[in-house]
Chain A
Amino acid sequence: MSTLDVKTAMAPSATERELTLGEAIREALAEEMRRDPRVVLMGEDVAEAGTVFKVLTGLSAEFGTDRVIDTPISEAGFTGLAIGAAMTGLRPVVDIMFGDFIALVMDQMANQAAKVHYMSGGKWKVPLVMRTTLGATRRSAAQHSQSLHAWFSHVPGLKVVLPSTPYDAKGLLKSAIRDENPVVFFEDKMMYKLKGAIPAEEYTIPLGVADIKRSGDDITLVATSSMVQVALGAAKMLQEIGVGAEVIDPRTTWPLDEERLIESVKKTSRAIVIDEGYARYGATAEIASVIAEGAFHYLDQPVKRIGAMHVPIPFSPPLEDVTVPTEQMVFEAARKMCGKS
């Protein structure tokens, strides 16, 4: 992936540095832990090992193993524990190594964390962050490759964050930690090495604000997480045939910045929604529906959705590669919609 495509909303400053997405996440966690002693991290191999992805390397040395806590392989157990801890004065950040493992924590997240505030008439709060991963093409097969953020996006009471750049990852994670609600933060495991500019000074990004990653007048490409890079690549190809594509990243699937998505499509009259989750009943379905309802009279044709193929993620590279949306697929779809041969 080219680093040149990573647009940040910031003007370049003298103090700006380049960090990878993984480093940006580590920096956000470290800053929040320095700022607020209530923040604790827990998960499998998060301490000295710094997680399997090495995202947390160095945090246990700075904050100690009573704030960067290795847990047993017990996702439901430590997630449930973190919910109780969040209700009673701490601000836990739990690490679920692979997004596929959220199946193990669904009761705790969907029936407990999401509902505690509402069921108690607004009295108890659950300021919890769950960091987990999504994304295929790591040759990890069906139980380590899924993008299941739509599951959580379906449940009232949860917020769901999908950063696509180092800049966004840092600013959004800091906001998630300061949020009074349970927030699930999905990181594309293939993007941890992606580099981008990060200002030296502190900043946060509010949850629920979409970001235009590239402006264009002919077609809107709504893309999330890993698919933002794919959409930017397709936009570059489209530029070469005279099509101006606008790439907009909702950054959170809930809250969803419906207004900015609709505004973009009102301008371009065409939209493709690209997301690495399954298209069926997925994030693309919801976003396409929002656009269809909100910009119906401006649309030239139906909103198109591109998501993961509706199969379990296979192991063999030539099989796995065809399950994930690519720049070429997005380019072809956009070219057809814009009537370019």
Chain B
Amino acid sequence: MTKQKSVIEKTPASAAEPDKYLRMYQQMMSIRIFEEQVNDLYTRALMPGLAHLYIGEEAIAVGICSALRPDDYITSTHRGHGHCLAKGASPDRMFAELLGKEAGYCRGKGGSMHIADPATGNLGANAIVGGSAGIATGAAFSAKRLGNGRVAVCFFGEGALGQGLLYETMNLAQLWKLPVIYVCENNTYNEYTHYSETTAGDVLARPKAFGIQAERVDGQDVRAVYATANAVVERARGGNGPAFLLCDTYRYRGHHVGDVSREYYRSKQEEQKWVSERDPIKLFSDWLIAHKLATAGQLQTMNAEVKSTIDAAVQFALNAPYPDPLEVQQDVYA
């Protein structure tokens, strides 16, 4: 939990983009409330299957995606709701997909772990750990070859650091100077195992060994993530190759919504310490108020608006029809 030196400290902490910051706050709050509603739907047995909540990690998705253009690409993970929302997905169609409804982003065929949306550059959330490293790198390959100036971001958790594909594609990305940003969200746990038990050596030394620019960022500080993302995204867009961001964060909840008894792998005190001292939304709202970019009252109003949008999205999804079973054989082939 030590504070990391990052690009933000080299950049003036100006309030040059107040509207952008307020938008970032709103997005973080949307993800938080969205995920709380997912947990609620699961607990009330209204959602088929499971979901992996992003609560506690909101600053990373929002900080990164705020540095992207609408036509830039992302790939996401099984813990992907935050990435999809931050890239511009609409909560109502997200919930519809989580409930397996026809109005969902994938017409109910993907579910929580496979939200994909070409309109927002979302190449798809991926339920194979590290499985999307090739897809993101390939999107960057297309961007470079087609000269459209796009950048691709590959989100993955620290659990993916054990997967060979990541290193194969980082090698290709640096060889060919592809505009791809590898964003490692170290939420401290590979499922139920502390990452220190699975990860040898210095993580940043791995991308650095390929010559890839690598930065460690405080993943609870959305401004730090945003500033660092801006720097490496623009660098990549300018043809200077890939970057790797290691974002330190913490998964407040279990590996999935059903993982509620967690004492056998981590203590309640540890969880509480992150929640009370390092909450990304609390840290950001304190900063916004201290720098007079918002009042507490304005933020509360914003929270209420977000809550009502999310509540409406849940209702939309609950009321939406399921797909016709005859659709099961559609879209196996294009």
Q: Contact: B124 with A107, CB < 8 Å?
A: no
Given the interface pairs A118-B109, A121-B109, the reply to whether A88 lies near B331 with Cβ below 8 Å is no
Which residues of B sit under 8 angstroms from A108, Cβ to Cβ?
131, 134, 165
| Interface core residue of B104, B109, B141, B152 (most chain A CB under 10 Å) | B141
- Indicate with 1 or 0, residue by residue over A104-117, a CB within 8 angstroms of chain B CB atoms: 00011001100011
The verdict on A74 contacting chain B, using a C-beta distance below 8 Å, is: yes
The verdict on B29 contacting chain A, using a C-beta distance below 8 Å, is: no
| Interface core residue of B123, B136, B138, B164 (most chain A CB under 10 Å) | B138
User: Once bound together, how far apart are the Cα atoms of A74 and B134, in whole Å?
Assistant: 11
The verdict on A259 contacting chain B, using a C-beta distance below 8 Å, is: no
Partner of B135, one of A74, A80, A123, A156: A80
User: Once bound together, how far apart are the Cα atoms of A264 and B140, in whole Å?
Assistant: 49
Minimum C-beta distance from B66 to chain A (A): 22
User: Once bound together, how far apart are the Cα atoms of A176 and B171, in whole Å?
Assistant: 29
The verdict on B110 contacting chain A, using a C-beta distance below 8 Å, is: yes
Given the interface pairs A117-B331, A123-B117, A156-B332, the reply to whether A81 lies near B138 with Cβ below 8 Å is yes
In the complex, 17 of the A-B residue pairs with CB atoms within 8 angstroms, ordered by the A residue number, are A40-B145, A72-B171, A72-B172, A77-B165, A78-B172, A81-B138, A82-B134, A84-B123, A85-B142, A88-B138, A90-B145, A108-B131, A116-B116, A120-B118, A121-B106, A121-B107, A124-B123
The verdict on B16 contacting chain A, using a C-beta distance below 8 Å, is: no
Given the interface pairs A121-B109, A157-B333, the reply to whether A72 lies near B134 with Cβ below 8 Å is no
The verdict on B105 contacting chain A, using a C-beta distance below 8 Å, is: yes
| Interface core residue of A40, A81, A82, A127 (most chain B CB under 10 Å) | A81
Q: Contact: A119 with B114, CB < 8 Å?
A: yes
- The interface on chain B, measured as residues whose beta carbon lies within 8 A of the other chain's beta carbons, has a size of 45
User: Once bound together, how far apart are the Cα atoms of A127 and B138, in whole Å?
Assistant: 13
Seed contacts A84-B136, A121-B104, A180-B334; 12 additional CB < 8 Å A-B pairs: A40-B145, A77-B137, A78-B168, A80-B135, A81-B138, A81-B172, A83-B138, A87-B138, A112-B126, A116-B124, A120-B118, A156-B332
- The interface on chain A, measured as residues whose beta carbon lies within 8 A of the other chain's beta carbons, has a size of 40
Given the interface pairs A76-B164, A116-B124, the reply to whether A122 lies near B331 with Cβ below 8 Å is yes
Q: Contact: A84 with B165, CB < 8 Å?
A: no
Identify which of residues 95-131 in chain B touch chain A, using a CB-to-CB cut-off of 8 Å. Answer: 104-110, 114, 116-118, 123-124, 126, 128, 131
Minimum C-beta distance from A157 to chain B (A): 6
User: Once bound together, how far apart are the Cα atoms of A111 and B75, in whole Å?
Assistant: 15
User: Once bound together, how far apart are the Cα atoms of A118 and B165, in whole Å?
Assistant: 23
Q: In chain B, what residue has the closest Cβ to A254?
A: B333
The verdict on B290 contacting chain A, using a C-beta distance below 8 Å, is: no
